[in-house]
């Protein structure tokens, strides 16, 4: 009898150990799967997007002839703005190819240059009017087609380019003259959206996102913390309190596009806030983030031991003093972590912003939260549906930027959590 | 409950006796030696529909240690928490009867709970220092009540309180370290120092030694003896030995009623009620 028992026991033990082992293998498999999926995704984005951080540029000499420009060095800034910079830019290229005479060929030749060349010259005219009449050497961007072709040729790839044979020949001559090179694309970080891929940047979207998140934080954080404090510390357990609680939990699960519709109907149409602005976007995202912050803050408050509250009360602290002197400092790390996670969620949100018009094409970097702007995820969405080939790498690069933002925010959350945990010891 | 009628004359006899040994005069009220600081009169406490206390009446005498003993769940902690209105925060808790501090009803609508708790300090079962520095723990009370006007005054209060709690020499080098780094016994003495930093009239102690080892318990008991000179102390304890060691007056709670109250020697040597006798001889509880 005993023997049988122990045999059974042994079998059981072996089975149990095997189950243990099996579970561990499943876990490792799951991790490997998730890790490789992430690596694949990141690798894909990185390999497509890294080239966007570089731009093909050409160094040319431009003759800032007052006659061609149509302005003199004494002209007003408004007049200088109207100067014929395009002609100067084209001439800079024509002088290298005196044999090109036909206007059709000339037009094809100028397609090598980006509109950015003209813009750079105009900027120079506005900043330094004294340079009119002289000759300047500038490094200006080349067109997106050249950029794509040159990058592909550097990688040694065969590439279906939109450049024709003649243009390729001209480009080869320029490359042989060693005036074409790759440069770090600072424009990508400072410029706003553009119809020309080589000029499109995420500067506008980044600034728009920062304004939007700032508005979102300024509204959602105080409101969320105040609501959590009230619900957790002051409200009595009534039917109303339970209703509010249930609704907050439901609100956290509402699809974000609904918040966008609410923003459209209430914030834009009823309150008449300007469309496409970070102000309206921030308010909508604040509504969306609010439940997340309330829930995080409430659970942080719940973890504060009641003995601390009793200690405070027994010392004669009023309920408000107990809350702000003892409960909130202890609950702050959880609250901040929840807030940052909520903001990170808001950072990646596209749908509600589409509804309030932040999807518009905006070519200027916004100067204030009330200026029309777009946000990073919306910018990605816009570029992703552009037909131009140059936007493919821009899309991937913008995704890389948003991932960096997300990682930075999550790191900040971890940092805050660790720091307060240490100080509590 | 029938006992209450029997015990009440007992209290008044105690109170009117006035034959307690003379004590060091260090407070103004000390001349009225035998006067009860706090009086409870027919206190009933309900949590929702459950009654936790039945007609408790007791007089707490000035500068004495009153011990409340009884089996678990007998209502002694509930009663203690009524004395500084800590039960107010419990939603469905209702209290009837009267509790007075210096002849003023502490449940009168005009009474400010915050200033009441300033006069009646409390030390809890589990040491509960604030997660702040030792200095800030003690300075907190004086700060929120505006007791110290200058920084120097505040430091004086902190050092003084730590000295009174017999903790100063142990922590003087690390006043600005976190209080959570102290041992359990030290933390409890810190909590006592914190409570006396605002100079309360009455000090409530809810099983202050139940989480401590015998050495730390000894420390705290000695401390109570010293504090008795200046403060009126009410202590809830599970340990009958502790009650016998430290208190002058003892009340025995059972099933929510105060069965018997009297001088400690009398309760332990010559209890009137059979239940008291059974409890202190270890028949139940």
Name residues whose C-beta falls within 8 Å of residue A38's C-beta, 6 or more positions apart in sequence: none
pLDDT tier at A421, thresholds 50, 70, 90: low
First CA to last CA across chain A, in angstroms? 56
Alpha-carbon distance A219 to nearest alpha carbon in chain B (angstroms): 30
pLDDT higher than 70, residue B226: yes
pLDDT on residue A86: 87
**Mean pLDDT: which of A34-43, A344-353, B139-148 is highest?**
A34-43
Alpha-carbon distance A311 to nearest alpha carbon in chain B (angstroms): 6
User: Does B285 map to a domain?
Assistant: no
Q: Judge whether A389 is closer than 8 Å to chain B, CB to CB.
A: no
pLDDT higher than 60, residue B158: yes
Q: Judge whether A312 is closer than 8 Å to chain B, CB to CB.
A: yes
- What is the reported pTM? 0.80
d(CA A256, CA A281): 12
Mean pLDDT lowest among A159-168, B15-24, B171-180: B15-24
d(CA A341, CA A347): 10
Angle between helices A165-176 and A103-110 (to 10 degrees): 60
d(CA A117, CA A92): 10
User: Does B223 map to a domain?
Assistant: yes
Alpha-carbon distance A241 to nearest alpha carbon in chain B (angstroms): 14
More confident: B150 or A220:
A220
Contacts of A316 in chain B (CB under 8 A): 114-118, 141, 144-145, 198
Nearest to B36 by CA among B232, B256, B214, B230: B232
Domain of residue B100, CATH code: 3.40.50.300
d(CA B224, CA B61): 15
Average pLDDT over residues B6-22: 40
Q: Judge whether B126 is closer than 8 Å to chain A, CB to CB.
A: yes
pLDDT on residue B3: 41
d(CA A297, CA A323): 13
Nearest to B251 by CA among B59, B97, B98: B59
pLDDT higher than 50, residue A418: yes
Distance (Å) of CA A374 to CA A193, A363, A384, B209, B222? 9, 10, 15, 64, 71
Give me the helices (H) in A230-375, please.
239-251, 256-262, 278-302, 306-314, 319-321, 328-347, 351-355
B120-123/B104-105 β-pairing: unpaired
pLDDT on residue A414: 87
Pick the residue from chain B with its C-alpha nearest to A311.
Answer: B128
Alpha-carbon distance B37 to nearest alpha carbon in chain A (angstroms): 19
The SS3 call for residue B209 is: coil
pLDDT higher than 50, residue B12: no
pLDDT on residue A1: 52
A225: left (phi over 0), alpha (psi -120 to 50) or beta: alpha
Instruction: Please indicate whether, in this complex, the C-beta atoms of B128 and A236 are within 8 angstroms of each other.
Output: no
B120-123/B202-206 β-pairing: parallel
The tens digit of pLDDT for each residue in B182-217 reads: 988 889 889 999 998 988 989 999 988 887 888 888
Average pLDDT over residues A351-374: 87
d(CA B203, CA B183): 22
Instruction: Please indicate whether, in this complex, the C-beta atoms of B91 and A318 are within 8 angstroms of each other.
Output: no
d(CA A69, CA A81): 10
Name residues whose C-beta falls within 8 Å of residue A343's C-beta, 6 or more positions apart in sequence: A213, A216, A217, A289, A409
Nearest to B224 by CA among A340, B207, B213: B207
Residue pairs spanning A and B at CB distance below 8 A: 63
pLDDT on residue B34: 57
Q: Judge whether A236 is closer than 8 Å to chain B, CB to CB.
A: yes
d(CA A233, CA A227): 10
Q: Give phi and psi for A95, each to the nearest 5.
A: -60, -25
More confident: B71 or A218:
A218
Domain that holds residue B83: 2-19+26-280
A242: left (phi over 0), alpha (psi -120 to 50) or beta: alpha
d(CA B256, CA B254): 5
pLDDT tier at A81, thresholds 50, 70, 90: confident
pLDDT on residue B284: 66
First CA to last CA across chain B, in angstroms? 19
Instruction: Please indicate whether, in this complex, the C-beta atoms of B124 and A424 are within 8 angstroms of each other.
Output: no
Q: Judge whether B179 is closer than 8 Å to chain A, CB to CB.
A: no
Q: Give phi and psi for A285, each to the nearest 5.
A: -65, -30
pLDDT higher than 90, residue A95: no
Instruction: Please indicate whether, in this complex, the C-beta atoms of B86 and A313 are within 8 angstroms of each other.
Output: yes
The tens digit of pLDDT for each residue in A296-317 reads: 999 999 999 989 998 999 898 8
Instruction: Please indicate whether, in this complex, the C-beta atoms of B180 and A314 are within 8 angstroms of each other.
Output: no
pLDDT on residue A321: 92
Burial-class residue B170 by CB neighbours within 10 Å (0-12, 13-18, 19+). Answer: middle
Sign, Cα dihedral of B138, B144, B150, B151: positive
pLDDT tier at B92, thresholds 50, 70, 90: confident
- Name the average pLDDT for chain B: 83
**C-alpha B262, offset from chain centre:** 17
Mean pLDDT lowest among A121-135, A326-340, B248-262: A121-135
pLDDT higher than 60, residue B9: no
ipTM of the predicted assembly exceeds 0.85: no
pLDDT higher than 50, residue A110: yes
Q: Judge whether B93 is closer than 8 Å to chain A, CB to CB.
A: no
pLDDT on residue B5: 42
Name residues whose C-beta falls within 8 Å of residue A83's C-beta, 6 or more positions apart in sequence: A69, A70, A71, A75, A122, A125
To the nearest whole percent, how much of chain A has pLDDT over 70? 97
pLDDT higher than 50, residue B8: no
d(CA A351, CA A374): 13
Q: Judge whether B168 is closer than 8 Å to chain A, CB to CB.
A: no
Q: Are A145 and A113 in contact (CB under 8 A)?
A: no
User: Does B235 map to a domain?
Assistant: yes
**Other Cβ atoms closer than 10 A to B225:** 12
Sign, Cα dihedral of A214, A215, A221, A222: positive
The tens digit of pLDDT for each residue in B240-251 reads: 888 999 999 999
Nearest to A219 by CA among A295, A280, A301: A280
The tens digit of pLDDT for each residue in B112-124 reads: 888 889 899 999 9
pLDDT on residue B20: 42
**C-alpha B101, offset from chain centre:** 13
Q: Are B91 and B48 in contact (CB under 8 A)?
A: no
d(CA A145, CA A85): 22
DSSP character at residue A179: -
d(CA B235, CA A39): 64
Segment 53-92 of chain B within 8 Å of chain A by CB: 84, 86, 89, 91
Distance (Å) of CA A387 to CA A152, A169, A344, B118? 19, 26, 30, 74
Q: Are B84 and B122 in contact (CB under 8 A)?
A: yes
d(CA A223, CA A245): 15
Q: Judge whether A326 is closer than 8 Å to chain B, CB to CB.
A: yes
pLDDT on residue A100: 86
pLDDT higher than 70, residue A422: no
Nearest to B240 by CA among B279, B273, B194: B279
Q: Judge whether B210 is closer than 8 Å to chain A, CB to CB.
A: no
Mean pLDDT lowest among B29-33, B60-64, B130-134: B29-33
Domains of chain B: total: 1
Mean pLDDT lowest among A14-28, A33-47, B199-213: B199-213
pLDDT tier at A7, thresholds 50, 70, 90: confident
pLDDT higher than 50, residue B132: yes
Instruction: Please indicate whether, in this complex, the C-beta atoms of A315 and B124 are within 8 angstroms of each other.
Output: no
Alpha-carbon distance A317 to nearest alpha carbon in chain B (angstroms): 6
């Amino acid at each position: 009898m005993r023997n049988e028992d122990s045999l059974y026991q042994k079998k059981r033990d072996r089975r149990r150990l095997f189950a243990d082992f099996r579970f561990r293998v499943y876990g490792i498999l799951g991790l490997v799967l998730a890790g490789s999926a992430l690596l694949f995704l990141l690798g894909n984005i990185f390999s497509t997007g890294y080239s966007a951080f570089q731009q093909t540029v050409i160094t040319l000499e431009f003759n800032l002839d007052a006659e061609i420009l149509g302005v003199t060095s004494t002209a007003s800034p408004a007049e200088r703005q109207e100067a014929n910079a395009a002609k100067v830019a084209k001439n800079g290229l024509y002088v290298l190819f005196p044999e090109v005479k036909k206007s059709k060929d000339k037009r094809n030749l100028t397609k090598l240059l980006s509109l950015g060349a003209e813009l750079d010259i105009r900027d120079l005219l506005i900043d330094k009017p004294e340079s009119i009449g002289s000759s300047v050497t500038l490094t200006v961007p080349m067109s997106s087609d050249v950029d794509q072709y040159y990058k592909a040729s550097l990688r040694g790839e065969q590439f279906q380019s939109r450049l024709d044979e003649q243009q390729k020949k001209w480009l080869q001559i320029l490359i042989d003259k060693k005036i074409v090179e790759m440069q770090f694309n600072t424009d990508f970080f400072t410029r706003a959206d553009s119809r020309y891929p080589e000029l499109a940047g995420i500067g506008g979207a980044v600034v728009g996102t920062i304004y939007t998140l700032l508005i979102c934080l300024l509204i959602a954080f105080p409101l969320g913390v105040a609501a959590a404090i009230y619900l957790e510390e002051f409200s009595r357990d009534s039917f109303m309190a339970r209703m509010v609680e249930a609704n907050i939990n439901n609100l956290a699960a509402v699809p974000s596009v609904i918040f966008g519709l609410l923003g459209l109907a209430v914030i834009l149409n009823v309150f008449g806030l300007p469309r496409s602005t970070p102000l309206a976007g921030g308010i909508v995202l604040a509504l969306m983030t609010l439940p997340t912050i309330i829930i995080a803050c409430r659970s942080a408050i719940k973890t504060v031991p009641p003995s601390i509250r009793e200690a405070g009360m027994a010392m004669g602290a009023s309920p408000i003093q107990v809350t702000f002197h003892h409960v909130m400092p202890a609950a702050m790390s959880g609250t901040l972590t929840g807030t940052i996670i909520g903001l990170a969620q808001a950072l990646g949100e596209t749908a509600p912003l589409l509804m309030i018009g932040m999807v518009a094409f905006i070519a200027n970097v916004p100067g204030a939260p009330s200026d029309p702007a777009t946000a990073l995820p919306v910018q990605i969405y816009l570029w992703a549906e552009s037909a131009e080939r140059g936007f493919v790498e821009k899309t991937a690069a913008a995704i890389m930027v948003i991932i960096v933002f997300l990682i930075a925010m999550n790191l900040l959350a971890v940092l805050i959590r660790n720091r307060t945990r240490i100080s509590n010891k | 409950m029938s006992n209450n009628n029997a015990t009440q004359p007992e209290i008044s006899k105690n109170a009117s006796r006035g034959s307690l040994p003379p004590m060091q005069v260090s407070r103004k009220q000390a001349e009225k030696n035998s006067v009860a600081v706090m009086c409870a009169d027919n206190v009933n406490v309900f949590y929702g529909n459950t009654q936790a206390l039945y007609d408790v009446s007791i007089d707490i005498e000035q500068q004495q240690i009153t011990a409340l003993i009884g089996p678990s769940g007998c209502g002694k902690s509930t009663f203690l928490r009524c004395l500084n209105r800590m039960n107010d925060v419990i939603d469905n808790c209702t209290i009837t009867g009267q509790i007075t501090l210096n002849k003023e009803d502490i449940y009168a609508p005009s009474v400010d709970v915050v200033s009441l708790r300033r006069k009646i300090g409390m030390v809890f079962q589990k040491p509960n220092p604030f997660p702040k520095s030792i200095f800030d723990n003690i300075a907190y009370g004086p700060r929120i009540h505006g007791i110290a006007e200058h920084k120097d005054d505040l430091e004086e209060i902190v050092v003084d309180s730590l000295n009174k709690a017999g903790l100063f020499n142990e922590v003087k080098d690390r006043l600005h370290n976190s209080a959570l780094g102290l041992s359990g016994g030290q933390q409890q003495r810190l909590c006592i120092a914190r409570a006396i930093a605002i100079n309360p009239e009455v000090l409530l102690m809810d099983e202050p030694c139940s989480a401590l080892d015998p050495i730390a318990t000894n420390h705290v008991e000695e401390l109570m003896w010293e504090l008795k000179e200046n403060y009126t102390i009410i202590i809830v304890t599970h340990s009958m030995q502790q009650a016998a060691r430290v208190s002058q007056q003892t009340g025995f709670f059972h099933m929510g009623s105060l069965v018997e109250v009297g001088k400690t020697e009398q309760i332990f040597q010559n209890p009137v009620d059979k239940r008291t006798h059974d409890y202190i001889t270890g028949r139940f509880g």
